[in-house]
Amino acid sequence: MRETNGYVELKLAVCRKAYSETRHSCGKAIADVLGSIKDKLPDDAVQMLDWLATEHTDPDKELWNEKAIGGQFYY
């Protein structure tokens, strides 16, 4: 089922604003909203996802590589 164009445009407008103002603290929410859009994403939305996937610092460390108590790795 396709979403109505107005609803998609509203989601995109919210993501654009959040990305331009608070991408570091709202990155997961932006990605979630963009991921919920069923239609083909415009280029700027794809660029937002690209930056969030490759440049965002969340998580700030790789827990799979951290040692837990007793010297064992977490995962």
- Tell me if 75 is assigned to some domain: no
- Tell me if 11 is assigned to some domain: yes
- Tell me if 58 is assigned to some domain: yes
Alpha-helix runs per DSSP H in 1-75: 5-35, 43-54
Domain span at residue 51 reads: 5-65
Helices 5-35 and 43-54 pack at an angle, to 10 degrees, of 10
pLDDT along the chain (75 residues), means of 10: 78 97 92 94 96 80 70 69
- Tell me if 70 is assigned to some domain: no
Look up the pTM and report it. 0.72
By the 8 A CB rule, do 36 and 10 touch? Answer: no
Kindly report, residue by residue over 27-46, the tens digit of the pLDDT. Answer: 999 999 999 999 999 999 99
- Tell me if 74 is assigned to some domain: no
